[in-house]
Amino acid sequence: MTTDFSLLRALCSIHAPSGDEVQLTRFLLDYIKNHKKHWKTEPEVYAGKGFQDCIVLKFGQPKTAIFAHIDSIGFTVKYGAELIKVGGPVSKDGILLVGEDREGSVECTLNVIQAAPGKKHGQLEYTGCRPVRRGTNLTFKPVWRETDAFVQCCYMDNRLGVWNALKVAETLENGVICFSCWEEHGGGSVEYLARFIYEKFGVHQALISDITWVTEGIHHGNGCVISIRDSGLPRRSYVNRIISIAEESGISFQLEVEGTGGSDGNALQRSPYPFDWCFIGAPENHVHSPDEKVHKADIASMVALYKRLMEKL
């Protein structure tokens, strides 16, 4: 795959942990403003008041929505040098963290203090820099790596899902794209986004543009994943429609069956609106670490399948 991944690299470098997505929201709004006139269909853009840091794009006469969360995992400075997790990041000694407070930019190192005897949990701290203002959010320092077959960096989950949605937007005629927040730390935005697009546009079908895991049943290079279930249980007749379209398309894909993990789809299922949803995304290994790695063939499969599904559903 010879795709230019400079946009994905830029997305992976932007500080946007759950609850602190504003920098990425501004980047996306600027990108959309500068590029939408070149897309096949120019979308209506909904953002700002009532949407917090989320963005909704409406194309033509939509029947299906793509949900892609823009937030990432990270850490928040507590008191002294102590850190609290945002979501579920990998926590190992020596990981480089970056952020910014009132005094300027921050670069420090994660230090894992083991639990004392009789204590259930240890403690996370930052080290190697000046004191950081309490409440500051820190994220993994991005280090982009690319080979002929793979791209690798922190925050492929879910900047690759966002990138996929932007690639689909280039040729999308009818549909909705929702850039959501807080997914990595419990969610909360999808429910009001669902209400908006259901009541305003009558949309009740969704695809979840997110990244899943390489496992014993899911492998690099075999195509993007259609998830039959994880901790959420989508309606099987809808998933079967998607599988049928994928089979007819000739696009490579893999079927995933898991009992754990979740996504914006779980929030849709809990909402009071009758949404059908299905998680579809490329698999990665080194999940929630600075080294998330995805095969380029799976990325190509993901974009192609999303374009086909948005036409056929």
pLDDT, tens digit, for every residue of 104-154?
999 999 999 987 777 767 899 999 999 999 999 999 999 999 999 999 999
C-beta neighbour count of 52 within 10 angstroms? 18
Please state, in angstroms and rounded to a whole number, the distance separating the CA atoms of residues 101 and 135.
9
pLDDT, tens digit, for every residue of 202-234?
999 999 999 999 999 999 999 999 999 999 999
Whether the CB-CB separation of 312 and 246 falls below 8 Å is answered with no
Measuring CA to CA, which residue among 270, 263, 261 is closest to residue 194? 270
pLDDT, tens digit, for every residue of 156-208?
999 999 999 999 999 999 999 999 999 999 999 999 999 999 999 999 999 99
Please state, in angstroms and rounded to a whole number, the distance separating the CA atoms of residues 170 and 42.
9
Measuring CA to CA, which residue among 16, 134, 1 is closest to residue 73? 16
Whether the CB-CB separation of 90 and 112 falls below 8 Å is answered with no
Q: What's the pLDDT at 2?
A: 59
Domains and CATH numbers, the chain: 6-72+144-312 (3.40.630.10), 74-140 (2.40.30.40)
Q: What's the pLDDT at 115?
A: 78
- Residue 28 DSSP SS3: helix
**How far, in whole angstroms, is CA 252 from its chain's centroid?**
22
What residues pair up with 137 in beta bridges, in sequence order?
76
Q: Is the dihedral of CA 183, 181, 206, 200 positive or negative?
A: positive
Q: Cβ-count burial of 186 within 10 angstroms (0-12 exposed, 13-18 middle, 19+ buried)?
A: exposed
Measuring CA to CA, which residue among 98, 114, 140, 150 is closest to residue 290? 140
Structure-token pair, residue 172:
């999308």
Task: Find where tokens 């490579």 sit.
Answer: 252
Whether the CB-CB separation of 76 and 207 falls below 8 Å is answered with no
**CA angle, residues 142, 146, 148, in degrees to nearest 5:** 170
Measuring CA to CA, which residue among 6, 120, 22, 110 is closest to residue 71? 22
Percent of the chain surpassing pLDDT 90: 96
Please state, in angstroms and rounded to a whole number, the distance separating the CA atoms of residues 209 and 67.
6
Please state, in angstroms and rounded to a whole number, the distance separating the CA atoms of residues 294 and 292.
7
Mean pLDDT of 244-254: 98
Please state, in angstroms and rounded to a whole number, the distance separating the CA atoms of residues 235 and 271.
14
Whether the CB-CB separation of 88 and 73 falls below 8 Å is answered with yes
Q: What's the pLDDT at 116?
A: 75
Q: What's the pLDDT at 11?
A: 98
- Residue 169 DSSP SS3: helix
Listed in sequence order, the DSSP H helices in 215-275 are 236-249, 264-270
- Please check the confidence at residue 34 and state whether its pLDDT lies above 90: yes
Split at pLDDT 50, 70, 90, the class of 37 is very high
What residues pair up with 69 in beta bridges, in sequence order?
180
- Please check the confidence at residue 1 and state whether its pLDDT lies above 70: no
Strands 74-77 and 82-86, by their bridges, are antiparallel
Whether the CB-CB separation of 174 and 36 falls below 8 Å is answered with no
Which pTM was predicted?
0.97
Average pLDDT of the chain? 96
Task: Find where tokens 């795709």 sit.
Answer: 3
